[in-house]
Protein backbone atom coordinates (compact mmCIF):
# COMPACT_ATOMS: atom_id res chain seq x y z
CA UNK A 1 0.00 0.00 0.00
CA UNK A 2 1.41 3.36 -0.97
CA UNK A 3 1.57 5.77 1.94
CA UNK A 4 -0.22 9.01 1.21
CA UNK A 5 2.08 11.96 1.55
CA UNK A 6 0.66 14.71 3.74
CA UNK A 7 0.00 17.90 1.86
CA UNK A 8 2.37 20.66 2.93
CA UNK A 9 0.64 23.38 4.88
CA UNK A 10 1.30 27.01 4.08
CA UNK A 11 2.88 29.23 6.77
CA UNK A 12 -0.21 31.44 7.05
CA UNK A 13 -2.29 28.37 7.82
CA UNK A 14 -0.02 27.50 10.72
CA UNK A 15 -0.25 31.11 11.86
CA UNK A 16 -4.03 31.03 11.62
CA UNK A 17 -4.33 27.88 13.72
CA UNK A 18 -1.91 29.36 16.23
CA UNK A 19 -3.99 32.55 16.39
CA UNK A 20 -7.12 30.49 17.06
CA UNK A 21 -5.33 28.65 19.86
CA UNK A 22 -4.11 31.89 21.40
CA UNK A 23 -7.57 33.41 21.24
CA UNK A 24 -8.97 30.38 22.99
CA UNK A 25 -6.23 30.53 25.61
CA UNK A 26 -6.97 34.18 26.23
CA UNK A 27 -10.65 33.43 26.75
CA UNK A 28 -9.95 30.57 29.14
CA UNK A 29 -7.65 32.86 31.14
CA UNK A 30 -10.45 35.43 31.14
CA UNK A 31 -12.76 32.77 32.51
CA UNK A 32 -10.33 32.11 35.35
CA UNK A 33 -10.26 35.81 36.22
CA UNK A 34 -14.06 35.88 36.16
CA UNK A 35 -14.19 32.81 38.43
CA UNK A 36 -11.70 34.36 40.80
CA UNK A 37 -14.00 37.36 41.18
CA UNK A 38 -17.00 35.03 41.59
CA UNK A 39 -15.28 33.09 44.38
CA UNK A 40 -15.74 36.01 46.73
CA UNK A 41 -19.47 35.78 46.18
CA UNK A 42 -19.65 32.06 47.10
CA UNK A 43 -21.49 32.02 50.42
CA UNK A 44 -19.19 29.86 52.58
CA UNK A 45 -16.16 31.73 51.24
CA UNK A 46 -17.71 35.14 51.87
CA UNK A 47 -18.71 33.96 55.33
CA UNK A 48 -15.13 32.79 55.96
CA UNK A 49 -13.74 36.11 54.71
CA UNK A 50 -16.16 38.00 56.92
CA UNK A 51 -15.26 35.82 59.89
CA UNK A 52 -11.57 36.48 59.30
CA UNK A 53 -12.07 40.22 58.90
CA UNK A 54 -14.19 40.36 62.01
CA UNK A 55 -11.64 38.52 64.11
CA UNK A 56 -8.71 40.52 62.73
CA UNK A 57 -7.77 43.79 64.49
CA UNK A 58 -8.83 46.96 62.68
CA UNK A 59 -7.06 46.86 59.36
CA UNK A 60 -7.22 49.46 56.64
CA UNK A 61 -10.16 48.70 54.41
CA UNK A 62 -9.28 47.59 50.91
CA UNK A 63 -12.53 48.97 49.55
CA UNK A 64 -14.54 45.77 49.72
CA UNK A 65 -17.17 45.37 47.06
CA UNK A 66 -19.66 43.41 49.13
Separation of alpha carbons 63 and 3, rounded Å: 66
Residue choice 4, 44, 57, 63 for contact with other proteins (CB under 8 A): 44
Per CB under 8 A, does 42 bind other proteins?
yes
Contact between 31 and other proteins per CB under 8 A:
yes
Burial of 31-57, coded b for 16+ CB within 10 Å and e otherwise, reads eeeeeeeeeeeeeeeeeeeeeeeeeee
Which residues of the chain form contacts with other proteins (CB under 8 A)? 9, 13-14, 16-18, 20-21, 23-25, 27-28, 30-32, 34-36, 38-39, 42-48, 50-51
Amino acid sequence: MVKKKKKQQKPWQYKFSLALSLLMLLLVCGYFVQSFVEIRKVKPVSVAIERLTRSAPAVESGGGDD
